[in-house]
């Protein structure tokens, strides 16, 4: 296997490779771009015209997608996977990955779309660096641009694998994109309702890529992800990488649930209280009239929506950040 196939090993050790560029026997070029970052370019005659960005480890303790990305890199470096798409492969927060923590000082996935410019420290610098790498990668005109940012969740979920689609006025995910997600094992897609500061929102809003955040189960340490079945996602990624994706079946969207954001619950002070059990799962249903949260000044969030569910409930976020999202079903 080519040495650059050990990108995760290099990242965990904090080392640079001796050779920054290597070629497989099939003419695929691997190029180290910096810590936790590698470009893969197929031979020109075999290039399908797709630019595919795969990122994992934006939160350092979300190891299942890191292991998946590592496996794809190994296959490419061994010549077992033969790319016909151009790839950018990123391990998002190397320092947090090395320590097995979600982040060290700041949540990197809240520092995009220029938010890092309002902050300081190593993780703000890393978000800036990831934006630069993505912008350079998606700078070639006339190519298909796709970004999957791979995550696992802090808590359990009634729908374990699902996708979040960023928002931009006048844009909606295509039926082809939704069918691809369904084929990859996603059981639900959440459509956001406003601009965001996540990595997938940056590539979607600023760089014109089709982009999704994929939630792939519950966060666990390295080597403890046997319960996280990513085989369908891996199959779809390998098809995209090798340019052999088949057209979706007519019933491809059956079984895929679509939700839209109704409201975000924003924590404003230390007095904030989220009236849910600590172990509540994502996609738990909430009855209309339920007092969901309270904050200083008499601020109250009462569930008004029919069929409402909660995702990402977390009362321990910093003031000014979301402590949960209310979502509702949407017909496709």
Point out the residues that are catalytic.
Answer: 215
Report the DSSP pairing between strands 50-56 and 144-153: parallel
* 153 and 185 Cβ atoms separated by less than 8 Å: no
Residue 300 burial by Cβ neighbours in a 10 Å radius (0-12, 13-18, 19+): exposed
CA distance 217 to 203: 23
Number of neighbouring beta carbons within 10 Å of residue 242: 16
Listed in sequence order, the DSSP H helices in the chain are: 7-13, 63-78, 94-99, 122-137, 175-183, 199-205, 231-242
Percent of the chain as helix, strand, coil, to the nearest 5: 25, 25, 45
State residue 296 phi and psi, 5-degree precision.
-60, 160
CA distance 2 to 22: 7
Alpha carbon 154 to its chain centroid, in Å, reads 14
Q: Got the DSSP string for 133-164?
A: HHHHHTTSTT-EEEEEEEEEESS-BSS-EEEE
Q: What residues does 38 pair with on adjacent strands? A: 32, 89
CA distance 204 to 210: 6
């Amino acid at each position: 296997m080519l040495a650059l196939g050990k990108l995760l090993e290099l990242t965990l050790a904090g080392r640079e490779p001796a050779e920054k560029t290597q070629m497989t026997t099939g003419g695929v070029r691997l190029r180290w771009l910096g810590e936790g970052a590698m470009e893969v370019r197929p031979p020109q005659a075999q290039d399908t015209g797709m630019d595919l960005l795969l990122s994992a480890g934006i939160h350092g303790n979300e190891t299942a997608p890191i292991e998946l990305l590592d496996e794809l890199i190994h296959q490419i470096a061994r010549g077992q996977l033969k790319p016909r798409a151009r790839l950018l492969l990123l391990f998002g927060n190397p320092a947090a990955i090395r320590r097995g923590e979600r982040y060290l000082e700041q949540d990197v996935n809240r520092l995009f779309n220029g938010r890092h410019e309002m902050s300081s420290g190593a993780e703000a610098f890393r978000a800036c660096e990831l934006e630069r790498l993505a912008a350079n990668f998606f700078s070639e005109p006339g190519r298909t641009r796709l970004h999957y940012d791979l995550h696992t969740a802090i808590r359990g979920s009634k729908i374990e694998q699902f996708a979040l689609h960023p928002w931009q006025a006048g844009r909606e995910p295509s039926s082809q994109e939704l069918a691809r997600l369904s084929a990859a094992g996603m059981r639900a897609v959440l459509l956001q309702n406003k601009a965001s500061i996540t990595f997938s929102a940056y590539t979607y809003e600023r760089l014109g890529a089709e982009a999704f955040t994929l939630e792939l189960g519950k966060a666990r340490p390295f080597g403890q992800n046997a319960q996280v079945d990513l085989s369908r996602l891996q199959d779809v990624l390998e098809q995209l990488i090798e340019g052999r994706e088949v057209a979706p079946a007519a019933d491809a969207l059956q079984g895929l649930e679509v939700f839209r954001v109704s409201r975000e619950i924003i924590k404003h002070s230390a007095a904030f209280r989220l009236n849910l059990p600590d172990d509540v799962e994502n996609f738990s249903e909430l009855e209309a009239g339920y007092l969901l949260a309270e904050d200083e000044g008499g601020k109250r969030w009462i569930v008004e929506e029919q069929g409402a569910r909660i995702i990402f409930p977390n009362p321990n976020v910093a003031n000014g950040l979301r402590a949960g999202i209310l979502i509702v079903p949407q017909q496709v």
